[in-house]
Chain A
Amino acid sequence: MSISIHKRLLTGNKALAEAIALEMESDPNVFVMGEDVGVYGGIFGATEGLYQKFGSTRVRDTPISETGFIGAAIGAAAEGMRPIAELMFVDFFGVCMDQIYNHMAKIHYMSGGHVKLPMVLMTAVGGGYNDAAQHSQTLYATFAHMPGLKVVAPSTPYDLKGMMISAIRDDNPVVFMFHKTLQGLGWMDQLDYSIGHVPEEAYTVPLGKANVVREGKDVTIVAIQMMMHRANEAAKQLAEIGIEAEVIDLRSLVPLDKETILESVRKTHRLLIVDEDYRSYGMTAEISAIVAEEALYELEVPIRRLAVPDVPIPYSRPLEQAVIPSVEAILDAAKQLVQH
């Protein structure tokens, strides 16, 4: 990263709101709708200040009617609008999944490419603050599984802004997941990495490009959002005992940047994948399969994966802590891989 003298620091939520505001200024077709996105500014602050700037026509509070307004975003997008619809928590996907799975994802294909849906479905993901089974999931794989949806999950304020601008400008439907605890909100856990340098102007970060956030030669750790930050913490501690971990921030699930992963595995010959989603049939399985198919003989030891161990997210603190991969769990797994 380049050194700049004047670092302009923003929280994740402000970076997101700034990205949306810039695009709304430059394109009258961009508008936002969702529950409490207006005066409240979004429960997780992703639309903070937009209502005051653009008014209620372009920043629309909706009734609790997700099938209705997400379906309406699809309909408006087909007419050339560029809607950003916010699903307050990803967990609420259930009430509107038909619109997402059968329509948003498939209309471009079924129309033989004649209909485009340049829309963003923005949604909050993640646990770790005891909100229990219906408000703590990430569901990365649930969305990434369906062909036709781009699915991104940025981890830093810089990427949140740059990838949101890319998502709005993309002619494909994009599921844009932000992590609640990386928004830098005053009422959640205050984490250093929820604040970061964000340039003032509009810029883009490509969808589908992973980021090597730490270089190392001994083991590759692939992760996304909160698990990437935990992997990075673990990597710092590994460095103290002489293990150099390479940490890859996936940033995007679809498209998936296999090359960056494979290249790293060819260098380190050891792979740990960490996910805040469920273990089975998920991101860790997908990446394991890709590496097995394309770089199996590069591996010196079997792949390790850490994920939510196929249980719903429990409420009670000790239970939740046991199922979401921790820095310690990542540290142990990485050590075992290297000392195998």
Chain B
Amino acid sequence: MGVPIEKIEWMYETMYKIRYYEESMVNIYAEGKSPVFNIGAGTVPGEMHLAAGQEPAAVGICAHLKREDTVTAPHRPHHNAIAKGVDLNLMTAEIFGRKTGLGRGKGGHMHLFDPNVKFSCGGIVAAGLPHAVGAALAAQMKGEDWVAVAFIGEGAANAGAFHESLNLAAVWKLPLIVVVEDNAYGISVPKSASTAVASNVERAAAYGIAGYSVKDNDPITMYEISERAVQLARRGEGPTLIEIETFRYLGHFQGDPELYRNKQEVPSLQKRDPLLRVEALLKKQGIQEIEIKHMQERAIAQVDAAYQFARESDYPNATQAFEDVFVVGM
């Protein structure tokens, strides 16, 4: 198996960080929302879509990306953002609606923009995919070897934007990689009820581009396939679609009663938790328990610091609502 140990360590620590971030958010989001749950109340209001369980998709490909590569993500963006290296303090402050946030509190959890690492996300399903096509086009026109990665859910693959984007990327041979995170549901609708083909890899073939599927939420396979896809794109040999079967441990959003899924489903997925599997792999490769502990502690410290930074930041003044509609001075 050809994955360098430093990469496995990076993936483990990043996955751990993501998991701890999302699990902490479950509690923080609940602050101020009891005894009566009210989506608009508490420390963090608004919708909250968390990605605990979906870490492999994010780390498997971001392990191959550099700062100049673009990533677009959908409404469930935290894992993608963290793996791409978005500033955790600024991202968290944004989710808290503080003026120190990435978007000075204007965007919130679904609308994170970090141009420093070329990351963006948005709340309209499939909308980020054409943006990634555009970033790939820019890279091609500038003659750079940069790539663009669009993360989307499997539900988004039924939107027109998905089909138009695949064709566009294929016909222009753009350095685009589409990562379909198949967590089996679009809110309550199972993939089988929304998607006429079993795998979106079949759709990649229909558009004349390479397609691979990653089974069972496996970060190592995700890493290996992504390596090929990124190399192909950097060499100017066109787009790839990767669909990974992944796990949504939590509701579609926090507060989702989840009446549409069997209560046994998540516990059975958790038995195959990717973090446990990578931890076992690290041990097998001779990494000591204490080193693993250090990685976990580093991840926890960084996340805790980000949440503290957000809590200690001020809210914007009401007058700031009127700024940033247009570019100043134009």
Contact = CB atoms under 8 A, between A and B. Distances in A.
B125 A312 contact: no
A40 interface: yes
B46 A129 contact: yes
B321 interface: yes
B330 interface: no
Interface in A80-130: 91-92, 94-95, 128-130
A67 B320 CA distance: 36
A187 B106 contact: no
Contact of A95 (B36, B124, B188, B322): B124
Given A128-B40, A189-B40, A311-B322, A65 B158 contact: yes
A314 B105 contact: yes
A316 B159 contact: no
Contacts of A322: 318-319, 321
B34 interface: no
A64 B155 contact: yes
B45 A319 contact: no
Interface string A280-296: 00000000000000000
Contacts of A213: none
Interface stretch (A18-26, A131-139, A236-244, A268-276): A131-139
A68 B196 CA distance: 14
Contact of B124 (A35, A68, A94, A128): A94
B141 interface: no
Nearest to B106: A314
Interface stretch (B14-22, B107-115, B198-206, B280-288): B107-115
B161 A318 contact: no
Nearest to B193: A61
Interface in B95-127: 97-99, 103, 105-108, 110-111, 122-127
A133 B106 contact: yes
B107 A132 contact: yes
Contact of A65 (B127, B159, B259, B318): B159
B321 A314 contact: yes
Interface string A5-33: 00000000000000000000000000000
Interface residues of B, number: 50
Interface in B287-330: 315-322, 325
B313 to A, nearest CB: 11
A63 B126 CA distance: 12
Contact of A63 (B189, B255, B317): B189
B37 interface: yes
A188 B317 contact: no
A133 B317 CA distance: 18
Interface in A301-317: 309-312, 314-317
Contacts of B156: 64
Interface string A320-336: 11110000000000000
Interface string B115-149: 00000001111110000000000000000000000
B193 A91 contact: no
Given A64-B186, A321-B318, A95 B106 contact: no
A187 B42 CA distance: 13
Contacts of A95: 124, 126-127, 159-161
Contact of B111 (A66, A68, A134, A317): A134
Contact of B40 (A92, A130, A310, A318): A130
Contacts of B108: 130-132, 315-316
A62 B196 CA distance: 12
A36 interface: yes
Contacts of A68: 160
A64 B97 contact: no
Given A35-B187, A61-B194, A64-B194, A131 B46 contact: yes
Nearest to B317: A318
Contacts of A321: 318
B24 interface: no
Given A131-B47, A187-B37, A321-B318, A315 B111 contact: yes
Interface string B177-218: 000000000111100011100000000000000000000000
Given A63-B194, A64-B159, A65-B159, A35 B321 contact: no
Nearest to B188: A40
B63 to A, nearest CB: 29
A129 B39 contact: yes
A130 B38 CA distance: 11
A43 interface: yes
Contacts of A36: 187-189
Contacts of B103: 315
A188 B318 contact: no
A190 interface: yes
A51 to B, nearest CB: 11
7 contacts: A36-B189, A64-B126, A67-B160, A129-B46, A132-B110, A316-B105, A320-B321
Interface of B: 36-41, 45-47, 97-99, 103, 105-108, 110-111, 122-127, 155-156, 158-161, 186-189, 193-195, 255, 259-260, 315-322, 325
6 nearest interchain CB pairs? A129-B40, A315-B108, A316-B97, A316-B105, A63-B158, A322-B318
Interface of A: 35-36, 38-40, 43, 61-68, 91-92, 94-95, 128-135, 186-190, 309-312, 314-323
Given A95-B159, A316-B99, A317-B315, 11 more contacts: A36-B188, A38-B188, A95-B161, A129-B46, A130-B40, A131-B47, A134-B123, A188-B40, A310-B325, A315-B105, A318-B316
